[in-house]
Structures are given as C-alpha cells and as structure tokens.
Amino acid sequence: MTDTAPQPRREGHPLAGQKMSGARMIMQLLADEGVEAIFGYSGGAILPTYDAVFLYNEEQSRVGGRQIPLIVPANEQGAAFMAAGFARATGRVGVCLVTSGPGATNTVTPVRDSMADSVPIVVICGQVARASIGTDAFQEAPVTAIMGSVAKHVFLVTEPQRLEATMRTAFELARTGRPGPVVIDVPKDVQNWEGIFQGGGTLPIPGYRRRMRELAEHVLDEREAARFFEMLGESRRPLIYAGGGVVHGGAATQLTEFAATFDIPVVTTLMGIGAIDTTHRLSMRMLGMHGTAFANYAVDDCDFLITVGARFDDRVAGVPAKFARGAERIAQLDIDRAEINKVKRVQWSHVGVLPEALHTLTAYGRRSGFRQDLGQWHQALAELKRRHAMGYDRESPLIQPYYVIEEINKLTRGEAIISTGVGQHQMWTAQYCDFRRPRLWLTSGSMGTMGFGLPAAIGAQLAHPGTLVVDIDGDSSIRMNLGELETVTTYDLPIKIVVLNNFGDGMVKQWQKLFFKGRLSASDRSLHKKDFIKAAQADGFPYAVRLDRKEDVPRVVAEFLGSPGPAFLEVMIDPDAGVYPMVGPGQTYEEMITGDFIASRTKVDIKPPGPSEMF
C-alpha cells in the first residue's frame, strides 16, 4: 500500500467514466492487460470477482469479443503453478485467482517458487471484509504478512478508489526489472463497492520506477567495452556461464550472436537451459551439481569466465573460493545489482538490460576488428566432451531412465515444451534432452518443488495449444499434485505425461545409499498400493499404458507421443539408477562423483557432506 494518491487517469479508455463494481474493474483490468487465461478456484471471499468473470465472458460471447477462459484446478497450488507454467512458457504474466484463507495460503509455495526463479505471476486473493480483518473471521488469513516475505510485492486494497491503479501497478511490478510474483489481497466489500472506472492510472512508486529508468539508461560505454575486450584478448580459454536471467531477460538471441561472433563456448545453469541451442557447436550443456562432467571440467579449466544472468548459487558454486579455479578474471552481466560480487568477486561487471548489453559488446567487438584464435581451447573442450561423455549401463536388462529420455528426445528433437517435477527424473531430463530455444524447459530450480511438473505443463499447453507438451515426472513428485490429472482431461489438453517409476523418492534414496549407509528412511514406496494407470483411466485418459519391458521402449514411446489426446505412460525403471555426475554440497568439481559409466579425471573418495551442508 501507499499513502499517496493514485496517478491521474489517462484519457481514451472506452469505459472511462462508467460506474462499475470493484469486481468488474478487476475483470476489466485483466482484459486490458491482455490476460489470456485465468487459473483459479472459487470461494466465498472471491465470489463477486468470479461472478464478474462469468458476466464478462457472457458479454464477450454475445458481441463476438475475446473471452478469457477460467481454468479450475484440483486445488489452489495447482492453479498458481499453472499460472507460473504459462508465464515460464511465454514470458508474459500468469494470473491466479483464489479465495481467502486456505485458498490464499495454498498459493504460498508457488509464489515463493516464482520468486526464487524470477517468474512473473499475479495472484489475486479474496479477503474478508475490511471491518472483519484482524478478528479471526471465517477463512481469514494474514496474507500480507505471509506473502510479504516470499513475493516481489504484496498489496492489501483498503481504499476501493485505489483498486484500479493497484491492479495496473501489480502487473507492472511483476513483469519489469527482475520479474517476480505480485500478490493483491482484495477484501470482499471492496469487490462489491461501486465507483467510477478511471480507465488509466497507476500508483506512484517513484523509487522503483527510477531504478527501472536507470537500468534502461545504463548502457555500456566505449570505455567499459574496451576494458572487456582487453580482458578477452588476454584470455586463451574464455567461457560463458549463462543463467536463467538470459531466458527471463529475452537475451538468448543476443547471447548466441555474441558467443558465435567471438567463438566462445557456453555452459548453462539448470534455469539457463535453452539460452543457447543445446545442439549448437558452442554448447557445453549444463554445469553444476548434476551438470555434465565435461562442462564442469571446462569451468575449472577456463581462464576468463563471462557470467551472464547467473548468480553463482550453491548448486553451481558449492565452494565459491574454488569455483572456476583457473579463471584469472571473471566478468558479470546482470539486471540485479545485488548479484554483483554477492558470492564471487568479479573484475568487470555491468548492471543493465541484458539484450542491449550483449548487443553493444558484439557491435563493439566487430567495429574494433577483434579477432582471437581459440583453436587450442576448442580442441581441448572437444577432448573433454569425448573423454567425459555422458554414459550409462546400456546392457542392463532393466529399463534405464536415460534410455527412455533418449527415445523421447529422438522424437521431440528439441522442439517440445518439457516440464518436470523435482528429483532424479528432473536431472536426467536436463542431461539427456535437447532444447533448441528458450522457454521450452520448465522446471522448479531454486525451490526444487515436487509436484511442479503437471500443473506447469497445463499452463504451458494453454499458452501454446499447438505445441507438444510433455511432463516427465517421477512417481513421488507427481503424487504431490496428482489431482490435476482430472484437469488435463476436463479441458481435453493433449499433454503427454510420463512417470518414471522407481518406487520412491529416488534422489533421497541416492543420498541415503551414498551418505547414510543405505538406510532408506521414509523414502521407499515399493510396498505402496498406488496404481497410476487406474488413476489415469479413472480421470478419463484415453491412452494410459504401463511400460515394463526394455525391448518395447522405442515402440511404446513413439505410440505414446503420437497419440492425439491426453496420454499417460508409466515406465517401470531400474530402481537403483542414479544421477551422475554428482557434486556433493560443499564440494568442488575436482570431487565430482561420476559413477561407473562416466570417466573421471581423478579417483574420488566419496565422503558425506558436512553437518551444515544442504541437500
């Protein structure tokens, strides 16, 4: 909230000057923002707005206008993850509409997930009437207190006259700068209030808008560019380390152009997958805890690390002091000043809009005639790729998850939208699938939220109805939001869901085997009675098949992906299959565990993480 008045309205809106309810204003503003779908679950405190959605779509149907579909999930967590899936797949703001109390609190996890991964969503919550706030009224929750610590911003609308300006400002905050989730808490009596629709205007947030102007105006000058190329010219082994900021900032084209112009190889974070085509000659794929061995060794060997939209997080730089140990210099480009020198000291940095910054560097290098022979570096990287290639037991009689994903990849050819839950299946997909462009890879990164994959796929499919969308999930992860199977068939979405079933929490079991002497405490599901095929059939999936024979993998995967409507495939995989490489928390790339089928540079003694290390 703000204590100052909204900015005056702009002229020109066809409905300016009309009297309407707060709920009707909310709906009109969603239409004005170009919202293509609303994901939500109704309830008492949000009923006026749900009625406004109904009436708006009824009116649009009557006049032949654009209706905004309302997608109803199994629960509110699913709704907010659908909104996030829509946002991740498009770069546009996803919208979630829920009731007060448990409706709002069920969205806390997706809101935090979106904040951690810089995803723009707007969550509109109903709230009890203003007079009842603080009385422990029925279905009341302190949304501003709860959400304030996990969202980019939270609004509680206590003055109805500011509702319109608040809505516009929420969308502005969600999509600008470093994107993120914004929550609007709207009391029921504010929704029922009637007032004059202004047709324009936003809240005055001068500090934020000043920072946005400064970002837009902070362009690389000749001196900064010259210093960058001086460092690049002194380098013999440069490497680009690209993160999710490249995808969120719409800078993938400029990154690829920069890398190709100066022949610099690229590694990406989990969230940066798609920032460069994974089949591109300069792509060294993913680095980090479960990155490829050759990518991690490349980071160790580089002498100049160019960091773009990445933040040296603990999954990548477990020991910051020893990360990129051979790098004599590090450069960092980011939109968020707080990320510069936060974890790793850098010798050159630029805070600003990434597409413009990368374009400026490319143009300067071309204009100055910059040339560099990196032949020996590329030969060394090619040898790393050959010697430390990904591998697994191809002779095993059991179905290996890597094999299944390779078969999916052969058919999707890097063009499908692929979402995942969290766990081993997530890492296998990141390692073995190709992504030809950004926003095809949807996963929960920083929060690592199980149950993300299915609802995110629903949001993505609604955003791109003509695109193949595949949710590669795990048996434990999909359980978290299994109710959304019904949402898939209710809206007849042709999503392909594959569950790699290893009877439990695979990643937890892997850690327990490595570090807890094989004690599978609360992670084994082999005695559980869940029949996923019957569950899918009960929810109306026309294709629901269990795959348990290795020789059937190519045929069944092709049949599954080629089926015309919603499809569900359960694959009974080797329960002991692990994710390799693996860098334990608090350990360096030198200590990377590569397993039995990926070559390691050195013999590694497996040691448990320290008592304070994270999962």
Beta-carbon-side half-sphere exposure of residue 318 (alpha carbons within 13 Å): 24
| CA-to-CA separations, 328 to 314, 325, 584, in angstroms, rounded | 21, 8, 25
282 CB-contact burial (10 Å; exposed 0-12 / middle 13-18 / buried 19+): middle
Name the residue among 518, 440, 42 with its Cα closest to residue 278: 440
416-452 burial string, b = 16+ CB within 10 Å, else e? bbbbbbbbbbbbbbbbbbbbbbbbbbbbbbbbbbbbb
C-alpha span between 537 and 168 (Å, rounded) = 43
- Catalytic pick among 152, 188, 385, 509: 188
Catalytic, 450? Answer: no
With tokens 């560097």, the residue in question is 361
Do 99 and 45 meet the contact criterion of CB atoms below 8 Å apart? Answer: yes
C-alpha span between 242 and 248 (Å, rounded) = 12
CA 208, distance to chain mean position in Å, is 24
Catalytic, 289? Answer: no
C-alpha span between 329 and 238 (Å, rounded) = 10
Q: What is the sign, positive or negative, of the torsion defined by CA atoms of 175, 176, 181, 184?
A: negative
Beta-carbon-side half-sphere exposure of residue 475 (alpha carbons within 13 Å): 25
Catalytic, 28? Answer: no
- Catalytic pick among 18, 54, 138, 379: 138
Which run of H or E residues covers position 363? helix 354-367
Catalytic, 507? Answer: yes
Q: Name the pairing type of β-strands 194-196 and 19-21.
A: antiparallel
- Catalytic pick among 25, 33, 39, 76: 76
Name the residue among 251, 175, 244, 181 with its Cα closest to residue 212: 175
274: which residues sit within 8 A by CB, 6+ positions away? 247, 252, 268, 435, 436, 437, 438, 439, 440, 441
C-alpha span between 536 and 260 (Å, rounded) = 46
78: which residues sit within 8 A by CB, 6+ positions away? 39, 454, 455, 458, 481, 483, 484, 487
557: tokens are 């995967």
C-alpha span between 225 and 246 (Å, rounded) = 19
CA 280, distance to chain mean position in Å, is 22
Which run of H or E residues covers position 60? helix 47-63
Which run of H or E residues covers position 510? helix 506-515
C-alpha span between 167 and 109 (Å, rounded) = 22
Catalytic, 188? Answer: yes
With tokens 């995110």, the residue in question is 456
Q: Provide the annotated active-site residues.
A: 76, 138-139, 188, 507
